[in-house]
Amino acid sequence: MSTSNTTRVQLVKVSEDHDGQRLDNFLSARLKGLPRSAIYRMIRTGQVRINGGRSKPSTRLDEGDEVRIPPARIRESGKAFISEQVCRQIHDAILFKNSGLLVINKPSGMAVHAGSGLPWGLIDVVRQNFPGEFCELAHRLDRETSGCLVLARSGKALKHLSGLFRDGQVRKFYLCLLDGDMKEPLIKVTAPLKKVQAGAERQIEVNVEGKTALTHFRKLQAYPGCTYAEAELLTGRTHQIRVHASHIGLPLAGESRYASKESVKKWKNMGLHRIFLHARSLSLTSVSGEELTFNAPLPEKLKAVLDRLEN
């Protein structure tokens, strides 16, 4: 039986291990059981303060900052159950591991965070696999997107990696299937993106008032009525590839939010029940200055779609 607990106001000093961490992730780790939507509301309404001032969810913390965490009513239903099968799945999906970082080939359908009705996310699985160890996400992937996901294993690594992603110093390449014929071998999309309210949910649209967003689409293989392509992500906006693909009239195969009903139906009939978007490779510089590149093979279910297009 679940119970609830009301926390008190906390004034927390940011330690070296959390230097550079996003405010929303910092709060989520301290208010376990509180939905992320509630955390965002706390921040938006000014209940959370950093050194006495208001902030945003994406604000990066500095060592020595004082964070005011307001009272919160947390529903406690015990630790979320994560099966041994899932733990093994993520353990087997590790592409690289050292003292500073962990790279995982994230499966499609698994969210990186708990929330929106999900009792756990990939970060919780990793923490269960490495109990007592520091582990934080350096960036994010959409729930339906598979492929290379980087996590930091120390506060120093988190600050370094967060800086690389924030400053566009990580090269990110995705494999995608575009619904339509890509006429040119390379399409460079420069279209600012903005979050908007669409009914009960928020989504992203191309908007001159939005944030700068750059995506390069390179044709890899033409198929009847669709194109297999590589997307290079030069900025890291939410749903960037999905919205940019739709913007140029070539929505991602399997897309449901930014594609027509006809497109959705077409790809379901083709046996595709997820977005065809896979984070294939990622290159970055480690804390020690080593140049690292990670690669995640295309999932078998996506290979099967390409095989069917060949026949």
- CA-to-CA distance for 85 and 78, rounded, in angstroms? 20
State the average pLDDT over residues 1-24: 77
Closest CA to 126 of 115, 117, 138, 142: 138
Q: Work out the percent of the chain whose per-residue pLDDT is above 90.
A: 66
Confidence tier at 75 by pLDDT (50, 70, 90) = low
pLDDT tens-digit series, residues 175-232: 999 999 999 999 999 999 998 876 667 789 999 999 999 999 999 999 999 999 999 9
Determine, yes or no, domain membership for 79. no
- Domains contained in the chain, number: 3
Domain annotation covers residue 10 = yes
Rg (CA), the chain: 20
* Greatest C-alpha distance within the chain: 63
Please give the pLDDT value at position 200: 61
- Please give the pLDDT value at position 235: 93
Q: How many helices (H) and strands (E) does the chain have?
A: 8, 17
The DSSP secondary structure of 18-37, one letter per residue, reads GTT-BHHHHHHHHSTTS-HH
On the question of pLDDT at 2 being above 50, the answer is: no
Residue 275 to residue 266: CA distance in whole angstroms: 13
Q: What is the pTM of this model?
A: 0.81
- Residue 171 to residues 13, 51, 108, 168, 217: CA-CA distances in angstroms? 34, 34, 21, 8, 14
Q: Which domain holds residue 135?
A: 84-166
Determine the 3-state secondary structure of 51 from DSSP. coil
From 65, 142, 181, 307, active-site residue: 142
Residue 186 and residue 259 share a domain: yes
Give the residues across from 6 on adjacent strands.
73
Q: Is the pLDDT of residue 4 over 80?
A: no
Pick the more confident residue, 292 or 271: 292
**CA–CA gap between residue 60 and residue 210 (Å, rounded):** 21
Report residue 86 as tokens. Answer: 């899932």
C-beta separation of 183 from 172 below 8 A: no
146 and 20 share one domain: no
Nearest alpha-carbon partner for 39 in 66, 13, 47: 47
The answer to the question of residue 246 being in a domain is: yes
State the Cα–Cα distance between residues 84 and 135, nearest whole angstrom: 19
In terms of domains, do 217 and 259 share one? yes
Query: Does residue 237 carry a pLDDT above 70?
Result: yes
Q: Is 19 a catalytic residue?
A: no
CATH of the domain at 267: 3.30.2350.10
DSSP 113-148: S-BTTBS--HHHHHHHHSTTS--EESS---TT-EEE
One domain, residues 211 and 93: no
Place of tokens 């994560």: 82
Q: Are residues 209 and 114 in the same domain?
A: no
Please report, for the domain that includes residue 34, its CATH number.
3.10.290.10
Domain boundary among 166, 195, 226: 166
Domain boundary among 166, 201, 216: 166
Q: Please indicate, yes or no, whether residues 234 and 285 belong to a single structural domain of this protein.
A: yes
Pair 48, 105 in one domain: no
Question: Is 181 found in the same domain as 155?
Answer: no
> Looking at the structure, do residues 26 and 126 belong to the same domain, yes or no?
no
Question: Looking at the structure, do residues 148 and 181 belong to the same domain, yes or no?
Answer: no
- Reduced to 3 states, what is the DSSP secondary structure of residue 155? helix
Do 275 and 175 fall into the same domain?
yes
Given 166, 190, 223, the domain boundary residue is 166
